[in-house]
A and B are shown apart, each in its own frame.
Chain A
Amino acid sequence: MKTSPLAGNTHRRMNNNTVLIMITIALFVIMYAAGCIAYSEKGFDHLQTFLNILINNSGLICIACGMTCVMLTGGIDVSVGALIAMDCMFIAVGIEYWGVSSPILMLLVLLIGVAFGLLQGFCVGYLGIQPFIVTIAGMFFARGMTAVICTQQVTIKSDPFFVGLANLKFNMPFEIGAYFNNKGKEMIPYFRLPVIIALVVLVAIFLVLRYTRFGRSLYAVGGNQQSAALMGLDVKKVRMKAYVLSSFLCSIGGICYCLNTMAGTTTQATGLEMDAIASSVIGGTLLTGGVGNVIGSFFGVLINGTISSLVKTNGKLISSWANVVSAMLLCFFIVLQAVFAKIKERSKG
């Protein structure tokens, strides 16, 4: 059987983009394995450690998916961290002070996310203002609104439905990874609701990016706006939709985050936008747009989570080591991307 030219093409594409994701996954596996060997007596090799990383980072996974979509169009959204703080504060104050039931609040939060995204997307897409500036303004606005809603820390405890959701515990089926703790009691690893939400979002966005018209148009716009416009795509609309999607996913992430922290504070989730951007970049998404995948971003989040989990397990290290190490990794991946880009350029010329 002859190999068609198309097959050769796919092979080549695999070399360029998938290699970066492969490296990310390989690095995650190596890092996690190293942690399992080094800290096995501290229980790092239990399945629960991995599930805890997932639980703690479920909000970040949702945000990273949205961030990847925005970055695919060549934009950026730095408002997500502040938007999460606003969502958490809104839910917390809504439950504790206004006495609104939590399902309505969650729905409202999602609506706020869409409205927020529409506004930002309109400024970016139709007014042609730089994404960075628009979303910085969005960040200021959301962070300030958090303080306008309430300046104190509000802990959620009076809504039984919300508390119930947060305390939902799913044991691993068939007792996978069950172990006996040092008292001889059998422990079954568990995960919580945010993990399921995050994984559903991840799969949904993966499918949307891969198989829908909207997903493909994100890539097209990010690759080259002019040719996308010549192809007949409504570039302005696509860019606006990307921001709406990002803010919407951010609101879902906000609910996950709130289920984990059960509180609203003004300083919540500071710097989370940079974590999301870093995860996407580590996962092989280019800030210039057009290249990237949510699976890579997912592993980017996991790598960051593993680093901080390792530092925590060690116990003696100052927590800022986690930041230093993840910044070093980020540096490594960025340089790697640059080298790949150079090789590509050379092979072209």
Chain B
Amino acid sequence: MKQIRKITKMRLFLPIFSMVLVMAINMIYDVANGNVFYNFFTISIRNGLLYGRLIDILNRGSEAAILAIGMTLVVSSSAGVDISVGSVMSLAGGMCCMLLAGFGNANVSQYAMPLWVGLLAGLAVACLCGAFNGFLVSYLNIQPMVATLILFSAGRAIGLLMCNSTIVYIREPSFQFLGGYLGPIPTPIIVAILCITVMSLILKYTALGMYVQSVGINAKAARIAGYQSRRIIFTTFVICGLLAGIAGLVATSRIYSADTNNIGLNFELDAILAVALGGNSLGGGKFRLSGSIIGAYTIQAITTTLYALGVSSAQAPVFKAVIVILIVTIQSPAVKAVMAKRAAAKEVAARKGAVGV
């Protein structure tokens, strides 16, 4: 009993638990349909490409996982959320495609510019957006959600202006690399792993993680202790913007076109949910990157499972909402307080019993 309690108190308990739950549902569904129970985990190679539901989840979840990294830092340092990431994704993709196709062209099979110029420009725009958000939040003390609301509504619109309100197609094979395959492995997975590795290395070998957490716990105290709170918050927003840019380029490359209206739509919500699901407080302070990443893949697993169960993409949000509410209710302070009270009462009762004997 004590050990169970110890396990449930672990910080990563919730994300891992929900992930396992989703897998269990998948397994039950497979068995019910007459498949072997490990159907969910089977990975096969077809036409020289990795194939399987697990691979699909990892592949489709890469953008959300990349966004979740940046979002975790922003939430931790500023106690707010960056709701502009989806728009920034679309803006970065739009910028990249606009440069590569040349302004005004909607369908090209040859680059107007070298590929790297387009990619770099996309990332640069994303960084600029992050810097804009960061400036508003850190130097003007504006609430993160309000500050990022500006780019939330403007980002997509600017992207549309750049693409002349059309979908810009780039039918050049090398452009599809980021969203395609590297050998048998889907490239988005590799990009996500790269981002995660780089960020964990930075957090491990520099003091960034500590700075971010201390600013998030108490910005004033951190400033008095000698940290430049503002600059740290600013940095987290720039990192978040950059990662949103990377995610945007991956999403653009997947469909080899700048569909500005749809790229990154509602991704900000998935990213925020991933952070919350990962057991991180949305009130800032301490964070676990691994939790957020598991959270991001859990959300994707839920989505994929729902599709596998035959729920249409428009109806899937209902189940997502129920799951989210259940999870956050378990995490909520009120329920936690009730549980703590119960545990304390039990302990008291146990002690009384011991004394009585």
Residues of A within 8 A of B (CB): 76, 123, 126-130, 132-134, 136-141, 143-148, 151, 266, 271, 274, 277-278, 281, 287-288, 318-324, 326-328, 330-331, 334-335, 337-339, 341-342
19 contacts between A and B (CB under 8 A): A126-B334, A130-B328, A133-B324, A136-B269, A136-B272, A137-B320, A139-B321, A140-B269, A141-B317, A141-B322, A143-B317, A144-B316, A320-B160, A322-B157, A324-B158, A326-B153, A330-B150, A331-B150, A334-B136
Nearest-neighbor residue (CB-CB) of B314 within chain A: A147
Q: Map CB proximity to A onto B111-148 as digits: 1 under 8 Å, 0 otherwise.
A: 00000000000000000000000001000111101110
> Contacts A327-B157, A338-B141, A338-B142 known; A277 to B149 CB distance under 8 Å?
yes
Chain B residues lying within 8 Å of A335, measured Cβ to Cβ, are 136, 140, 142
CA distance A310 to B322 in the complex (A): 42
Task: Indicate which residue in B149, B158, B315, B324 contacts A148 across the interface (CB closer than 8 Å).
Answer: B315
**B230 on interface, CB distance cutoff 8 Å:** no
User: 12 more A-B contacts (CB under 8 A) besides A137-B320, A337-B142?
Assistant: A127-B332, A128-B333, A130-B283, A133-B272, A136-B272, A136-B324, A144-B316, A145-B318, A278-B153, A318-B164, A320-B161, A327-B150
* Interface of A, helix, strand, loop or mixed by DSSP: helix
Chain A residues lying within 8 Å of B164, measured Cβ to Cβ, are 318
Most B CB within 10 A of own CB, among A136, A146, A148, A331: A136
CA distance A144 to B146 in the complex (A): 26
Task: Indicate which residue in B147, B153, B328 contacts A137 across the interface (CB closer than 8 Å).
Answer: B328
Residues of B within 8 A of A (CB): 81, 136, 140-143, 145-147, 149-154, 156-158, 160-161, 164-165, 269, 272-273, 276, 282-283, 312, 314-322, 324-325, 328-329, 331-335
Least distance between B264 CB and chain A CB atoms (Å):
14
Most A CB within 10 A of own CB, among B160, B317, B324: B317
Task: Indicate which residue in B136, B273, B283, B321 contacts A141 across the interface (CB closer than 8 Å).
Answer: B321
Least distance between B283 CB and chain A CB atoms (Å):
8
Task: Indicate which residue in B150, B152, B321 contacts A144 across the interface (CB closer than 8 Å).
Answer: B321
Chain A residues lying within 8 Å of B272, measured Cβ to Cβ, are 132-133, 136
CA distance A143 to B318 in the complex (A): 7
CA distance A277 to B146 in the complex (A): 9
CA distance A76 to B144 in the complex (A): 13
The 3 closest A-B pairs by CB, nearest first: A144-B318, A327-B154, A147-B314
> Contacts A133-B324, A140-B320, A341-B141 known; A323 to B156 CB distance under 8 Å?
yes
CA distance A133 to B157 in the complex (A): 26
CA distance A133 to B146 in the complex (A): 16
Task: Indicate which residue in B312, B332, B334 contacts A151 across the interface (CB closer than 8 Å).
Answer: B312
Q: Is the CB of A129 within 8 A of B329?
A: yes
Nearest-neighbor residue (CB-CB) of B162 within chain A: A320
Nearest-neighbor residue (CB-CB) of A319 within chain B: B165
